[in-house]
Amino acid sequence: MEPISLRTPLALLLLSLSAIAAAWWWLATPINLARAPIDPTAKLQCVSYAPFRGDQSPLVPTLHVGPEQIAEDLAQLARITDCVRTYSIDNGLDQVPELAGKVGLKVIQGIWLGSNRLKNLAQIQTAVRLTREYPGVITSVVVGNEVLLRGEMTAADLAANIRSVKSQVTIPVTYADVWEFWLRHREVYEAVDFVTIHILPYWEDFPIRARHAAAHVDAIRKRMAVAFPGKEILIGETGWPSAGRMREGALPSRANQAKVVSEILALAKRENFRVNLIEAYDQPWKRQLEGTVGGYWGLIDAVKRAVKYPANEAISNYPRWKLQMGSGMGLSILVFGAAWLTLRRRPWTPRPAAWVAVAISATAAGILLGVAVDKMLYESYGIGGWLKWGALLAAGIASPMLCANALMSGRALPTFLELVGPREQRTRSVLTFLLGAVLLVTTLIGAETALGFVFDPRYKDFPFAALSMAVLPFWTLMALNRPQEGTRPIAEAVFAGVLATAALYTGFNEGKDNWQSLWTCALFVLLAVTLWRARAVQIPK
Protein backbone atom coordinates (compact mmCIF):
# COMPACT_ATOMS: atom_id res chain seq x y z
CA MET A 1 0.00 0.00 0.00
CA GLU A 2 1.21 3.48 -0.79
CA PRO A 3 1.80 5.75 2.23
CA ILE A 4 -0.99 8.08 1.16
CA SER A 5 -3.45 5.17 1.28
CA LEU A 6 -2.90 4.83 5.04
CA ARG A 7 -4.05 8.34 5.81
CA THR A 8 -7.76 7.51 5.86
CA PRO A 9 -7.57 4.44 8.14
CA LEU A 10 -5.07 6.13 10.47
CA ALA A 11 -7.25 9.23 10.76
CA LEU A 12 -10.31 7.08 11.41
CA LEU A 13 -8.41 5.01 13.99
CA LEU A 14 -7.41 8.16 15.88
CA LEU A 15 -11.02 9.36 15.80
CA SER A 16 -12.17 5.95 17.06
CA LEU A 17 -9.73 5.93 19.96
CA SER A 18 -10.68 9.50 20.87
CA ALA A 19 -14.38 8.63 20.85
CA ILE A 20 -13.77 5.60 23.08
CA ALA A 21 -11.79 7.68 25.57
CA ALA A 22 -14.42 10.42 25.61
CA ALA A 23 -17.27 7.92 26.05
CA TRP A 24 -15.60 6.21 29.01
CA TRP A 25 -14.70 9.50 30.64
CA TRP A 26 -18.41 10.36 30.50
CA LEU A 27 -19.65 6.93 31.57
CA ALA A 28 -17.35 6.84 34.59
CA THR A 29 -18.09 10.36 35.82
CA PRO A 30 -18.59 9.92 39.58
CA ILE A 31 -21.22 11.50 41.77
CA ASN A 32 -20.63 13.03 45.18
CA LEU A 33 -23.44 12.83 47.72
CA ALA A 34 -24.09 15.22 50.57
CA ARG A 35 -24.72 12.21 52.80
CA ALA A 36 -22.97 8.87 52.29
CA PRO A 37 -25.30 5.83 52.22
CA ILE A 38 -23.18 4.32 54.99
CA ASP A 39 -21.76 6.91 57.35
CA PRO A 40 -19.36 5.57 60.00
CA THR A 41 -20.37 8.44 62.30
CA ALA A 42 -24.10 7.65 62.10
CA LYS A 43 -25.22 4.04 62.06
CA LEU A 44 -28.19 2.83 60.05
CA GLN A 45 -31.40 2.21 61.96
CA CYS A 46 -31.92 -1.30 60.62
CA VAL A 47 -31.20 -3.51 57.59
CA SER A 48 -32.73 -6.73 56.31
CA TYR A 49 -30.35 -9.63 56.83
CA ALA A 50 -30.05 -13.00 55.13
CA PRO A 51 -26.83 -15.04 55.59
CA PHE A 52 -26.75 -16.85 52.26
CA ARG A 53 -23.55 -16.74 50.20
CA GLY A 54 -22.53 -18.12 46.83
CA ASP A 55 -24.69 -21.11 45.93
CA GLN A 56 -26.46 -21.15 49.29
CA SER A 57 -30.21 -20.71 49.00
CA PRO A 58 -33.18 -20.91 51.35
CA LEU A 59 -34.95 -22.68 48.50
CA VAL A 60 -32.96 -25.74 49.60
CA PRO A 61 -34.84 -26.88 52.74
CA THR A 62 -31.92 -28.92 54.08
CA LEU A 63 -29.45 -26.03 54.00
CA HIS A 64 -28.18 -24.98 57.42
CA VAL A 65 -25.85 -21.98 57.64
CA GLY A 66 -23.24 -22.39 60.35
CA PRO A 67 -22.85 -20.02 63.29
CA GLU A 68 -19.34 -18.94 62.24
CA GLN A 69 -20.64 -17.53 58.94
CA ILE A 70 -23.52 -15.68 60.60
CA ALA A 71 -21.26 -14.36 63.37
CA GLU A 72 -18.83 -13.00 60.79
CA ASP A 73 -21.64 -11.15 59.01
CA LEU A 74 -23.14 -9.75 62.19
CA ALA A 75 -19.77 -8.51 63.42
CA GLN A 76 -19.40 -6.57 60.17
CA LEU A 77 -22.96 -5.26 60.30
CA ALA A 78 -22.57 -4.09 63.88
CA ARG A 79 -20.13 -1.47 62.59
CA ILE A 80 -22.71 0.12 60.29
CA THR A 81 -26.15 -0.55 61.83
CA ASP A 82 -27.92 -0.89 65.18
CA CYS A 83 -30.42 -3.55 64.09
CA VAL A 84 -31.10 -6.37 61.66
CA ARG A 85 -34.42 -7.67 60.42
CA THR A 86 -34.83 -11.39 59.71
CA TYR A 87 -37.64 -13.12 57.85
CA SER A 88 -37.56 -16.69 59.12
CA ILE A 89 -36.06 -19.10 61.63
CA ASP A 90 -35.15 -21.72 59.00
CA ASN A 91 -31.73 -22.55 57.51
CA GLY A 92 -29.89 -21.52 60.69
CA LEU A 93 -31.53 -18.12 61.09
CA ASP A 94 -32.73 -19.13 64.56
CA GLN A 95 -29.10 -18.50 65.62
CA VAL A 96 -29.25 -14.80 64.78
CA PRO A 97 -30.63 -13.45 68.11
CA GLU A 98 -27.94 -15.14 70.19
CA LEU A 99 -25.11 -14.07 67.88
CA ALA A 100 -26.53 -10.57 67.39
CA GLY A 101 -26.65 -10.03 71.15
CA LYS A 102 -22.93 -10.76 71.40
CA VAL A 103 -22.08 -7.84 69.08
CA GLY A 104 -24.67 -5.41 70.39
CA LEU A 105 -27.24 -5.69 67.60
CA LYS A 106 -31.00 -5.59 68.07
CA VAL A 107 -33.21 -7.94 66.02
CA ILE A 108 -36.61 -7.53 64.41
CA GLN A 109 -37.54 -11.20 64.40
CA GLY A 110 -39.39 -12.50 61.38
CA ILE A 111 -41.87 -15.39 61.24
CA TRP A 112 -42.33 -16.82 57.76
CA LEU A 113 -45.95 -17.75 57.09
CA GLY A 114 -47.24 -19.63 54.08
CA SER A 115 -49.96 -22.05 53.08
CA ASN A 116 -48.61 -24.94 55.21
CA ARG A 117 -50.25 -24.70 58.64
CA LEU A 118 -47.84 -27.13 60.32
CA LYS A 119 -44.81 -25.16 59.17
CA ASN A 120 -46.48 -21.94 60.29
CA LEU A 121 -47.00 -23.41 63.77
CA ALA A 122 -43.35 -24.50 63.96
CA GLN A 123 -42.19 -21.03 62.92
CA ILE A 124 -44.38 -19.38 65.56
CA GLN A 125 -43.31 -21.72 68.35
CA THR A 126 -39.61 -21.20 67.64
CA ALA A 127 -39.94 -17.41 67.32
CA VAL A 128 -41.88 -17.18 70.59
CA ARG A 129 -39.20 -19.24 72.33
CA LEU A 130 -36.47 -16.94 70.98
CA THR A 131 -38.24 -13.83 72.28
CA ARG A 132 -38.25 -15.36 75.77
CA GLU A 133 -34.60 -16.45 75.60
CA TYR A 134 -33.32 -13.11 74.25
CA PRO A 135 -35.62 -10.42 75.63
CA GLY A 136 -33.01 -7.67 75.39
CA VAL A 137 -32.13 -8.47 71.79
CA ILE A 138 -35.41 -9.08 69.96
CA THR A 139 -37.34 -5.80 69.94
CA SER A 140 -40.38 -6.83 67.90
CA VAL A 141 -41.85 -9.69 65.90
CA VAL A 142 -43.02 -9.61 62.27
CA VAL A 143 -45.72 -12.25 61.86
CA GLY A 144 -45.68 -13.00 58.16
CA ASN A 145 -44.01 -11.26 55.24
CA GLU A 146 -46.07 -10.44 52.12
CA VAL A 147 -48.20 -13.56 52.63
CA LEU A 148 -51.26 -11.61 51.43
CA LEU A 149 -49.36 -10.42 48.36
CA ARG A 150 -48.47 -14.02 47.54
CA GLY A 151 -52.07 -15.14 48.12
CA GLU A 152 -51.03 -17.91 50.51
CA MET A 153 -53.30 -16.91 53.40
CA THR A 154 -56.54 -15.05 53.98
CA ALA A 155 -56.59 -11.82 55.96
CA ALA A 156 -58.75 -13.51 58.63
CA ASP A 157 -56.26 -16.35 59.12
CA LEU A 158 -53.38 -13.89 59.19
CA ALA A 159 -55.06 -11.78 61.86
CA ALA A 160 -55.67 -14.93 63.92
CA ASN A 161 -51.98 -15.84 63.74
CA ILE A 162 -50.97 -12.31 64.74
CA ARG A 163 -53.27 -12.40 67.78
CA SER A 164 -51.93 -15.83 68.72
CA VAL A 165 -48.36 -14.52 68.76
CA LYS A 166 -49.38 -11.37 70.66
CA SER A 167 -50.84 -13.50 73.40
CA GLN A 168 -47.52 -15.28 73.88
CA VAL A 169 -44.97 -12.44 73.77
CA THR A 170 -44.44 -9.17 75.63
CA ILE A 171 -42.94 -7.16 72.77
CA PRO A 172 -44.69 -5.36 69.87
CA VAL A 173 -46.06 -7.50 67.03
CA THR A 174 -46.59 -6.45 63.42
CA TYR A 175 -47.14 -7.76 59.90
CA ALA A 176 -45.18 -6.69 56.79
CA ASP A 177 -46.50 -6.24 53.27
CA VAL A 178 -46.44 -3.82 50.35
CA TRP A 179 -48.39 -0.70 51.18
CA GLU A 180 -51.28 -1.38 48.78
CA PHE A 181 -52.19 -4.61 50.57
CA TRP A 182 -52.56 -2.82 53.88
CA LEU A 183 -55.17 -0.62 52.24
CA ARG A 184 -56.96 -3.66 50.80
CA HIS A 185 -57.01 -5.58 54.10
CA ARG A 186 -57.66 -3.01 56.78
CA GLU A 187 -58.76 -5.68 59.27
CA VAL A 188 -55.11 -6.66 59.75
CA TYR A 189 -54.49 -3.15 61.14
CA GLU A 190 -56.63 -3.93 64.17
CA ALA A 191 -54.51 -6.95 65.07
CA VAL A 192 -51.03 -5.37 65.04
CA ASP A 193 -49.21 -3.05 67.43
CA PHE A 194 -47.65 -1.07 64.57
CA VAL A 195 -47.90 -1.10 60.79
CA THR A 196 -44.92 -2.31 58.70
CA ILE A 197 -45.09 -1.30 55.04
CA HIS A 198 -42.84 -2.05 52.09
CA ILE A 199 -42.22 0.79 49.66
CA LEU A 200 -40.05 -0.27 46.73
CA PRO A 201 -40.22 2.47 44.06
CA TYR A 202 -38.52 0.25 41.47
CA TRP A 203 -41.15 -2.50 41.84
CA GLU A 204 -44.23 -0.29 41.81
CA ASP A 205 -46.88 -1.13 39.21
CA PHE A 206 -45.88 2.17 37.64
CA PRO A 207 -42.12 2.24 38.31
CA ILE A 208 -40.66 5.38 39.86
CA ARG A 209 -37.47 6.95 38.53
CA ALA A 210 -34.53 7.04 40.93
CA ARG A 211 -34.59 10.82 41.23
CA HIS A 212 -38.21 10.68 42.46
CA ALA A 213 -37.85 7.61 44.69
CA ALA A 214 -37.35 9.39 48.03
CA ALA A 215 -40.27 11.75 47.39
CA HIS A 216 -42.42 8.72 46.52
CA VAL A 217 -41.47 7.00 49.78
CA ASP A 218 -42.36 10.12 51.73
CA ALA A 219 -45.71 10.54 49.95
CA ILE A 220 -46.72 6.92 50.55
CA ARG A 221 -45.66 7.04 54.21
CA LYS A 222 -47.77 10.14 54.81
CA ARG A 223 -50.71 8.58 52.97
CA MET A 224 -50.51 5.49 55.17
CA ALA A 225 -50.27 7.61 58.31
CA VAL A 226 -53.57 9.24 57.37
CA ALA A 227 -55.17 5.88 56.53
CA PHE A 228 -53.99 4.24 59.78
CA PRO A 229 -53.86 6.90 62.51
CA GLY A 230 -52.83 6.09 66.04
CA LYS A 231 -50.17 3.50 65.23
CA GLU A 232 -46.56 3.89 64.16
CA ILE A 233 -45.73 3.33 60.49
CA LEU A 234 -42.46 1.44 60.07
CA ILE A 235 -41.02 1.31 56.57
CA GLY A 236 -39.99 -2.32 56.68
CA GLU A 237 -38.39 -2.46 53.26
CA THR A 238 -37.14 0.24 50.95
CA GLY A 239 -34.10 0.67 48.75
CA TRP A 240 -32.89 0.44 45.17
CA PRO A 241 -31.08 -2.22 43.09
CA SER A 242 -27.53 -1.64 41.85
CA ALA A 243 -27.80 -3.89 38.77
CA GLY A 244 -30.46 -5.39 36.50
CA ARG A 245 -32.97 -4.45 33.83
CA MET A 246 -34.81 -1.17 33.53
CA ARG A 247 -38.53 -0.99 34.28
CA GLU A 248 -39.89 1.94 32.30
CA GLY A 249 -37.73 4.86 33.55
CA ALA A 250 -36.45 3.07 36.70
CA LEU A 251 -32.76 2.28 36.10
CA PRO A 252 -30.79 0.02 38.48
CA SER A 253 -27.21 1.23 38.90
CA ARG A 254 -24.56 1.76 41.54
CA ALA A 255 -24.96 5.52 41.44
CA ASN A 256 -28.76 5.36 41.56
CA GLN A 257 -28.71 2.94 44.49
CA ALA A 258 -26.38 5.18 46.47
CA LYS A 259 -28.41 8.27 45.63
CA VAL A 260 -31.79 6.75 46.53
CA VAL A 261 -30.58 5.23 49.81
CA SER A 262 -28.84 8.45 50.79
CA GLU A 263 -31.93 10.56 50.12
CA ILE A 264 -34.27 8.17 51.98
CA LEU A 265 -31.99 8.14 55.01
CA ALA A 266 -31.81 11.93 55.00
CA LEU A 267 -35.61 12.07 54.75
CA ALA A 268 -36.03 9.65 57.65
CA LYS A 269 -33.72 11.73 59.81
CA ARG A 270 -35.49 14.95 58.89
CA GLU A 271 -39.03 13.58 59.32
CA ASN A 272 -38.13 11.39 62.30
CA PHE A 273 -39.51 8.02 61.16
CA ARG A 274 -38.09 4.50 61.33
CA VAL A 275 -36.82 2.81 58.18
CA ASN A 276 -35.35 -0.61 57.46
CA LEU A 277 -33.26 -0.87 54.31
CA ILE A 278 -33.35 -3.87 52.03
CA GLU A 279 -30.83 -5.22 52.32
CA ALA A 280 -27.50 -5.85 54.06
CA TYR A 281 -25.84 -8.20 51.54
CA ASP A 282 -26.50 -8.91 47.88
CA GLN A 283 -28.33 -12.24 47.65
CA PRO A 284 -27.39 -14.25 44.52
CA TRP A 285 -30.10 -16.87 45.13
CA LYS A 286 -32.85 -14.31 44.54
CA ARG A 287 -31.84 -14.15 40.88
CA GLN A 288 -33.45 -17.55 40.43
CA LEU A 289 -36.80 -15.97 41.32
CA GLU A 290 -36.47 -12.33 40.28
CA GLY A 291 -33.78 -12.26 37.61
CA THR A 292 -30.58 -10.23 37.84
CA VAL A 293 -32.17 -7.34 39.68
CA GLY A 294 -33.24 -9.56 42.58
CA GLY A 295 -29.66 -10.29 43.57
CA TYR A 296 -28.37 -6.73 43.82
CA TRP A 297 -30.30 -4.84 46.52
CA GLY A 298 -27.55 -5.12 49.10
CA LEU A 299 -25.36 -2.40 50.55
CA ILE A 300 -22.53 -4.92 50.76
CA ASP A 301 -21.13 -7.00 47.90
CA ALA A 302 -21.97 -10.70 48.10
CA VAL A 303 -18.57 -11.97 46.95
CA LYS A 304 -15.98 -9.68 48.53
CA ARG A 305 -18.25 -8.80 51.49
CA ALA A 306 -17.13 -5.19 51.04
CA VAL A 307 -19.29 -2.10 51.50
CA LYS A 308 -20.27 -0.85 48.05
CA TYR A 309 -20.08 2.81 48.97
CA PRO A 310 -17.30 3.61 51.46
CA ALA A 311 -17.61 6.99 53.13
CA ASN A 312 -15.81 9.95 51.53
CA GLU A 313 -15.41 8.17 48.18
CA ALA A 314 -16.99 9.33 44.92
CA ILE A 315 -19.42 6.82 43.43
CA SER A 316 -19.07 5.65 39.84
CA ASN A 317 -21.08 3.13 37.88
CA TYR A 318 -17.80 1.89 36.41
CA PRO A 319 -15.05 2.00 39.05
CA ARG A 320 -12.74 -0.04 36.75
CA TRP A 321 -13.29 2.33 33.83
CA LYS A 322 -9.61 2.76 32.94
CA LEU A 323 -9.21 -0.97 32.36
CA GLN A 324 -12.47 -1.04 30.41
CA MET A 325 -11.42 1.93 28.29
CA GLY A 326 -8.03 0.39 27.58
CA SER A 327 -9.59 -2.92 26.58
CA GLY A 328 -11.98 -1.10 24.25
CA MET A 329 -9.12 0.78 22.61
CA GLY A 330 -7.28 -2.50 22.15
CA LEU A 331 -10.29 -4.07 20.44
CA SER A 332 -10.64 -1.05 18.13
CA ILE A 333 -6.98 -1.40 17.11
CA LEU A 334 -7.52 -5.12 16.43
CA VAL A 335 -10.51 -4.36 14.19
CA PHE A 336 -8.53 -1.83 12.16
CA GLY A 337 -5.62 -4.26 12.12
CA ALA A 338 -7.83 -7.01 10.68
CA ALA A 339 -8.91 -4.68 7.88
CA TRP A 340 -5.37 -3.54 7.15
CA LEU A 341 -3.95 -7.10 7.12
CA THR A 342 -6.68 -8.14 4.68
CA LEU A 343 -5.60 -5.39 2.27
CA ARG A 344 -1.97 -6.41 2.65
CA ARG A 345 -2.90 -9.85 1.32
CA ARG A 346 -5.29 -8.52 -1.32
CA PRO A 347 -3.99 -5.10 -2.37
CA TRP A 348 -6.77 -3.14 -3.98
CA THR A 349 -8.51 0.12 -3.15
CA PRO A 350 -11.81 -0.39 -1.31
CA ARG A 351 -14.51 2.24 -1.28
CA PRO A 352 -14.06 4.94 1.40
CA ALA A 353 -17.38 3.75 2.84
CA ALA A 354 -15.72 0.44 3.73
CA TRP A 355 -13.21 2.16 6.02
CA VAL A 356 -16.02 4.25 7.52
CA ALA A 357 -17.92 1.02 8.22
CA VAL A 358 -14.85 -0.46 9.88
CA ALA A 359 -14.48 2.68 12.01
CA ILE A 360 -18.13 2.58 13.07
CA SER A 361 -17.89 -1.07 14.09
CA ALA A 362 -14.54 -0.61 15.84
CA THR A 363 -15.72 2.44 17.78
CA ALA A 364 -19.01 0.90 18.87
CA ALA A 365 -17.24 -2.29 19.95
CA GLY A 366 -14.55 -0.33 21.76
CA ILE A 367 -17.04 1.74 23.72
CA LEU A 368 -19.37 -1.13 24.56
CA LEU A 369 -16.85 -3.88 25.34
CA GLY A 370 -16.45 -2.79 28.96
CA VAL A 371 -20.20 -2.38 29.38
CA ALA A 372 -20.83 -5.82 27.84
CA VAL A 373 -18.29 -7.53 30.10
CA ASP A 374 -19.75 -5.74 33.12
CA LYS A 375 -23.26 -6.87 32.18
CA MET A 376 -22.12 -10.45 31.57
CA LEU A 377 -20.53 -10.62 35.03
CA TYR A 378 -23.65 -9.27 36.72
CA GLU A 379 -26.31 -10.97 34.59
CA SER A 380 -24.94 -14.49 34.07
CA TYR A 381 -26.57 -16.94 36.48
CA GLY A 382 -26.10 -20.68 36.33
CA ILE A 383 -24.30 -22.63 33.63
CA GLY A 384 -26.94 -21.76 31.03
CA GLY A 385 -26.66 -18.05 31.72
CA TRP A 386 -22.88 -18.02 31.53
CA LEU A 387 -22.92 -19.99 28.28
CA LYS A 388 -25.52 -17.74 26.65
CA TRP A 389 -24.11 -14.37 27.61
CA GLY A 390 -20.54 -15.58 27.19
CA ALA A 391 -21.34 -16.75 23.65
CA LEU A 392 -23.00 -13.42 22.81
CA LEU A 393 -20.01 -11.47 24.13
CA ALA A 394 -17.64 -13.68 22.12
CA ALA A 395 -19.78 -13.02 19.04
CA GLY A 396 -19.65 -9.29 19.79
CA ILE A 397 -15.85 -9.38 19.91
CA ALA A 398 -15.42 -11.55 16.81
CA SER A 399 -18.05 -9.87 14.63
CA PRO A 400 -16.30 -6.52 13.99
CA MET A 401 -12.99 -8.20 13.16
CA LEU A 402 -14.50 -10.80 10.84
CA CYS A 403 -16.73 -8.20 9.17
CA ALA A 404 -13.72 -5.90 8.70
CA ASN A 405 -12.00 -8.75 6.87
CA ALA A 406 -15.07 -9.36 4.71
CA LEU A 407 -15.50 -5.66 3.93
CA MET A 408 -11.92 -5.35 2.72
CA SER A 409 -12.00 -8.57 0.73
CA GLY A 410 -15.31 -7.77 -0.98
CA ARG A 411 -17.17 -10.76 0.48
CA ALA A 412 -20.83 -10.64 1.44
CA LEU A 413 -22.40 -11.91 4.63
CA PRO A 414 -22.83 -15.70 4.32
CA THR A 415 -26.19 -17.41 4.62
CA PHE A 416 -27.01 -20.21 7.04
CA LEU A 417 -27.12 -22.60 4.09
CA GLU A 418 -23.38 -22.13 3.70
CA LEU A 419 -22.94 -23.52 7.20
CA VAL A 420 -25.60 -26.19 7.63
CA GLY A 421 -27.09 -26.65 4.15
CA PRO A 422 -26.43 -29.38 1.57
CA ARG A 423 -22.77 -30.30 1.22
CA GLU A 424 -22.45 -28.72 -2.21
CA GLN A 425 -23.64 -25.35 -0.84
CA ARG A 426 -21.39 -25.24 2.18
CA THR A 427 -18.47 -22.84 2.19
CA ARG A 428 -14.90 -24.07 2.16
CA SER A 429 -13.50 -20.78 3.43
CA VAL A 430 -12.57 -20.85 7.10
CA LEU A 431 -13.14 -17.12 7.54
CA THR A 432 -16.51 -17.28 5.81
CA PHE A 433 -17.51 -20.22 8.01
CA LEU A 434 -16.46 -18.35 11.16
CA LEU A 435 -18.37 -15.26 10.08
CA GLY A 436 -21.47 -17.33 9.38
CA ALA A 437 -21.13 -19.14 12.73
CA VAL A 438 -20.95 -15.83 14.59
CA LEU A 439 -24.01 -14.61 12.72
CA LEU A 440 -25.89 -17.82 13.56
CA VAL A 441 -25.00 -17.58 17.27
CA THR A 442 -26.08 -13.93 17.37
CA THR A 443 -29.35 -14.71 15.59
CA LEU A 444 -30.24 -17.65 17.83
CA ILE A 445 -29.52 -15.74 21.05
CA GLY A 446 -31.25 -12.65 19.69
CA ALA A 447 -34.37 -14.59 18.73
CA GLU A 448 -34.48 -16.45 22.06
CA THR A 449 -34.12 -13.16 23.94
CA ALA A 450 -36.73 -11.43 21.77
CA LEU A 451 -39.28 -14.19 22.38
CA GLY A 452 -38.52 -14.01 26.10
CA PHE A 453 -39.52 -10.34 26.10
CA VAL A 454 -42.81 -11.30 24.46
CA PHE A 455 -43.85 -14.25 26.64
CA ASP A 456 -42.06 -13.74 30.00
CA PRO A 457 -40.48 -10.28 30.13
CA ARG A 458 -40.63 -9.24 33.80
CA TYR A 459 -37.18 -10.47 34.83
CA LYS A 460 -35.37 -10.53 31.49
CA ASP A 461 -32.24 -8.42 30.97
CA PHE A 462 -31.66 -6.28 27.88
CA PRO A 463 -28.41 -7.39 26.17
CA PHE A 464 -27.97 -4.09 24.31
CA ALA A 465 -24.18 -3.83 24.69
CA ALA A 466 -22.97 -7.22 23.40
CA LEU A 467 -25.80 -7.34 20.85
CA SER A 468 -24.75 -3.95 19.45
CA MET A 469 -21.16 -5.13 19.10
CA ALA A 470 -22.32 -8.12 17.06
CA VAL A 471 -25.20 -6.71 15.01
CA LEU A 472 -23.79 -3.37 13.85
CA PRO A 473 -20.90 -4.91 11.85
CA PHE A 474 -23.29 -7.39 10.22
CA TRP A 475 -25.57 -4.57 9.15
CA THR A 476 -22.74 -2.48 7.67
CA LEU A 477 -21.40 -5.51 5.81
CA MET A 478 -24.82 -6.34 4.38
CA ALA A 479 -25.37 -2.71 3.40
CA LEU A 480 -22.06 -2.38 1.52
CA ASN A 481 -21.39 -5.91 0.23
CA ARG A 482 -24.94 -7.03 -0.45
CA PRO A 483 -25.32 -9.93 -2.94
CA GLN A 484 -27.31 -8.84 -5.97
CA GLU A 485 -28.57 -12.26 -7.07
CA GLY A 486 -30.16 -15.32 -5.54
CA THR A 487 -33.26 -16.14 -3.51
CA ARG A 488 -34.09 -15.13 0.04
CA PRO A 489 -33.38 -18.10 2.35
CA ILE A 490 -36.35 -19.33 4.38
CA ALA A 491 -34.45 -19.51 7.69
CA GLU A 492 -33.28 -15.90 7.51
CA ALA A 493 -36.79 -14.76 6.53
CA VAL A 494 -38.37 -16.55 9.49
CA PHE A 495 -35.86 -15.16 11.97
CA ALA A 496 -36.31 -11.69 10.51
CA GLY A 497 -40.07 -11.91 11.01
CA VAL A 498 -39.71 -13.13 14.60
CA LEU A 499 -37.24 -10.39 15.50
CA ALA A 500 -39.23 -7.58 13.89
CA THR A 501 -42.53 -8.67 15.46
CA ALA A 502 -40.96 -9.09 18.91
CA ALA A 503 -39.30 -5.68 18.62
CA LEU A 504 -42.62 -3.96 17.94
CA TYR A 505 -44.37 -5.73 20.82
CA THR A 506 -41.52 -5.23 23.29
CA GLY A 507 -41.11 -1.55 22.46
CA PHE A 508 -44.81 -0.96 23.09
CA ASN A 509 -44.96 -3.17 26.19
CA GLU A 510 -41.90 -1.71 27.93
CA GLY A 511 -42.79 1.91 27.20
CA LYS A 512 -41.05 4.92 25.77
CA ASP A 513 -39.09 5.70 28.94
CA ASN A 514 -37.10 2.46 28.93
CA TRP A 515 -34.03 3.28 26.85
CA GLN A 516 -32.58 -0.20 27.39
CA SER A 517 -35.68 -1.67 25.77
CA LEU A 518 -35.74 0.83 22.90
CA TRP A 519 -32.05 0.26 22.19
CA THR A 520 -32.47 -3.53 22.22
CA CYS A 521 -35.57 -3.33 20.01
CA ALA A 522 -33.67 -1.18 17.51
CA LEU A 523 -31.01 -3.91 17.37
CA PHE A 524 -33.67 -6.57 16.79
CA VAL A 525 -34.95 -4.53 13.85
CA LEU A 526 -31.43 -3.97 12.51
CA LEU A 527 -30.69 -7.69 12.69
CA ALA A 528 -34.06 -8.45 11.08
CA VAL A 529 -33.26 -6.12 8.15
CA THR A 530 -29.83 -7.71 7.78
CA LEU A 531 -31.30 -11.22 7.65
CA TRP A 532 -34.13 -10.19 5.33
CA ARG A 533 -31.66 -8.85 2.76
CA ALA A 534 -29.68 -12.09 2.66
CA ARG A 535 -29.49 -14.02 -0.61
CA ALA A 536 -28.40 -17.60 -1.15
CA VAL A 537 -25.85 -16.77 -3.85
CA GLN A 538 -22.69 -15.11 -2.54
CA ILE A 539 -20.56 -12.98 -4.89
CA PRO A 540 -17.73 -12.48 -5.29
CA LYS A 541 -15.91 -15.47 -3.78
pLDDT, tens digit, 9 for 90 and up, residues 55-73: 999 999 999 999 999 999 9
Question: Which range is least confidently modeled, 30-39, 106-115, 275-284, 466-475?
Answer: 30-39
CB 525 within 8 A of CB 503: yes
What does the alpha-carbon distance between residue 470 and residue 473 come to, in Å, rounded to a whole number? 6
Render 44-101 in DSSP notation, one character per residue. BSEEE-----TT--TTSTT----HHHHHHHHHHHTTTBSEEE---STTTGGGHHHHHH
Tell me the H-state helices in 312-381: 321-345, 352-379
- For the cut 50, the answer to whether the pLDDT of residue 540 exceeds it is no
**Is the per-residue pLDDT at 350 higher than 80?**
no
Mean pLDDT over 397-414 rounds to 94
Which of 201-215, 229-243, 422-436, 467-481 has the weakest average pLDDT?
422-436
Q: How many CB atoms lie within 10 A of CB 454?
A: 16
| 37, pLDDT greater than 80 | no
For residue range 81-118, list pLDDT tens digits in order: 999 999 999 999 999 999 999 999 999 999 999 999 99
pLDDT at 253 over 90: yes
Residues 109 and 86 sit within 8 Å (Cβ to Cβ): yes
Residue 192, pLDDT score: 97
Model confidence band, residue 427 (pLDDT cutoffs 50, 70, 90): confident
Write the DSSP assignment of 441-456 as a string of letters.
HHHHHHHHHHHHHHHS
Instruction: Give the span between the Cα atoms of 332 and 325, in whole angstroms.
Output: 11
Residue 4, pLDDT score: 42
Question: Among 379, 394, 374, which Cα is nearest to 439's?
Answer: 394
Q: What is the pLDDT of residue 444?
A: 97
- Section 216-230 average pLDDT: 94
The residue ranking higher by pLDDT, 428 or 356, is 356
pLDDT in tens, 153-211: 999 999 999 999 999 999 999 999 999 999 999 899 999 999 999 999 999 999 999 99
The pLDDT of residue 538 is 47
Per-residue model confidence (pLDDT) at position 5: 64
Least reliable range by pLDDT among 26-35, 162-171, 246-255, 491-500: 26-35
How large is the average pLDDT for residues 524-534? 96
The distance in angstroms from the start CA to the end CA of the chain is 23
Whether the predicted pLDDT of 347 surpasses 70 = no
Going by C-alpha positions, the residue among 397, 327, 390 that lies closest to residue 361 is 397
Domains in the chain, CATH or no CATH each: 3-25+318-532 (no CATH), 42-295 (3.20.20.80)
pLDDT of the residue at 400: 98
Q: Give the pTM.
A: 0.91
**Which value, in Å, is the radius of gyration of the alpha carbons in the chain?**
28
Cα–Cα distance, 285 to 282 (Å, whole number): 9
Q: Is 202 helix (H, G, I), strand (E, B) or coil?
A: helix
Percent of the chain predicted with pLDDT > 70: 97
Whether residue 297 is predicted with pLDDT greater than 90 in this model: the reply is: yes
What pLDDT, on the 0 to 100 scale, is given for residue 114? 95
Q: Which residues pair with 173 in a beta bridge?
A: 141
* CA distances (Å), origin 390, targets 90, 398, 500, 501: 36, 12, 24, 26
Mean pLDDT along residues 261-286: 95
Tell whether the model's pLDDT for residue 232 goes beyond 50: yes
Which tens digit of pLDDT belongs to each residue from 440-480? Answer: 999 999 999 999 999 999 999 999 999 999 999 999 999 99
The pLDDT value given to residue 418:
87
Question: Is the pLDDT confidence value at 284 over 60?
Answer: yes
Over range 227-233, report the average pLDDT. 93
Q: How many CA atoms lie within 13 A of 15 on its CB side?
A: 13
Q: How far apart are CA 261 and CA 80, in angstroms?
A: 14
> In this predicted structure, what is the pLDDT of residue 492?
94
